[in-house]
Amino acid sequence: MPSVDLQLPHHRYSIEIEPGALSALGEKVRAVAPHDVAAMVIDENVADTHAPAAKRSLEAAGFEVVTHTLPAGEAHKTLDAVRELYDVFVKHRLERKSPVVALSGGVIGDTVGFAAASYLRGVPLVQCPTTLLAMVDSAVGGKTGVNLPAGKNLVGAFYQPALVVEDINTLRTLPDRQLRCGLAECAKHAMIHDADLFAWTGHHVEAIMSRDADTLTQLVARNVAIKASVVMADEKEAGGRVHLNFGHTFAHAIEATQFSSTSVTHCKPREPGRPDPGPHEHGEAVALGMVAAAHLAVGADRCDASACARLIELLNRVGLPTASDALADTDALIGAMRIDKKVADGRIRLVLPDRVGHVTIVEDTPIDAIRAAWERLRVT
Ligand code: NAD
Ligand code: GLY
């Protein structure tokens, strides 16, 4: 069973990756948080499929399990959801040693993570990601938080989990659209750090999409190893962790303008696999954001056009968007980029590719170049 150790100066935890891992969840949680009551927070899309096995395993290990279901979808990654969780934790008398298990995708992981980080100034958090995106990215590395109407992830905390348990079999029920979104973050890891993984991913798209368990296990383990190594070198994003934001300043602007054009409260959870092009899921926005960054890098003579073409080819092969007719107008998108967390001293800081497998942080990109990159993304 692949297991990746994430070792920080004052904390270490393991990320355990295995088909069927949820059936042994209870004993693993008991080893890191030996308390009687465990809270398990899920969303409705895993309630009948994966939550029962996790609950059975926790109960078999002696936990009294309080299960709470939040509505699914980015529109519910809010302070209201966090407040709802505090009420549940208080009602069931969770203590400092009571584990809180987050089971579903990155929305649940980020929201529950922030509630766990702040309730009683921190209770043990166990991440059980069930989307590819959450397995390779959001469940690892300790970024937790929620959205504000003004933008994505504007409230949050760095709070490392006590344990991460990744059951590859849960990906069998994941809609194709969500699997593709996870592949956007995998393409990101490969673009920033690993040209060999980039080629490997391109060769294994079919096996991945057909949910071949060995291929998925390798894919997840290789990506988790990259994410863990970046976090170990720079936990709080003072240096190299910024590379993980490749494509994200553009992506967050796409997502933030989707919120404001529909308003968060009216942005209902969407049917996975729905054919219409927008609003974009997070992974789709990341794919578009990486392409925008690559266009920008080519236009600034920082990157060979062939690297941009290879990125577009991989994303197309996966079935991710590389252009869109669902973008807000360019001024609104640039305005949204300015309130991204990565803005420093009022300057938009971007991560741009130099080639497949390597990126650089660029501090002061001219607005005209950013504008041109947005225009290249539009379907004409
Ligand atoms: P998500 O949590 O919305 O999950 C996508 C959909 O899949 C949801 O409807 C969910 O209910 C459903 N689902 C989950 N597991 C399933 C399964 N096994 N079978 C069927 N359906 C399932 O989205 P996501 O893509 O997992 O995560 C996106 C979020 O993660 C965004 O909010 C993004 O900002 C955040 N994120 C955080 C970090 C971080 O470092 N903390 C990194 C990347 C992304
Ligand atoms: N997903 C970006 C990070 O964890 O830093």
**pLDDT one-digit tens code per residue, 252-308:** 999 989 865 433 222 233 343 333 456 899 999 999 999 999 999 999 999 999 999
Query: How many Å lie between the centroid of ligand 1 and the Cα of residue 262?
Result: 20
CB atoms within 10 A of CB 233: 10
In the predicted model, is pLDDT for residue 346 greater than 50?
Answer: yes
> Given this model, what pLDDT does residue 300 score?
96
User: For ligand 2, atom 2, which residue shows the shortest CA distance?
Assistant: 244
Pocket mutation for ligand 2, best pick of 235, 245, 246, 286 (most atoms within 8 Å of C-beta) = 245
pLDDT of residue 158: 98
The mean pLDDT value for 303-328 works out to 97
309: DSSP letter: H
The one-letter amino acid code at 89 reads F
Q: pLDDT band at 338, cuts 50/70/90?
A: confident
Residues contacting 147, CB < 8 A, separation 6+: 74, 77, 78, 153, 154, 155, 259, 264
Length of the chain: 380
Pocket test for ligand 1, best of 6, 42, 45 (most atoms within 8 A of CB): 45
Total-model pTM: 0.94
Do 143 and 137 meet the contact criterion of CB atoms below 8 Å apart? no
Q: How many other C-beta atoms lie within 10 A of the C-beta of residue 90?
A: 11
Residue-range domains of the chain with CATH:
3-173 (3.40.50.1970), 176-377 (1.20.1090.10)
pLDDT value at residue 345: 66
| Lookup: tokens for 119 | 């309730």
Identity of the residue numbered 222: R
Nearest ligand atom owner, CA of 113: 1
- Among the atoms of ligand 1, which is closest to the Cα of residue 141? 40
Mean pLDDT rounded to a whole number for the chain: 93
Q: Measure the CA–CA gap between 59 and 38, rounded to whole angstroms.
A: 9
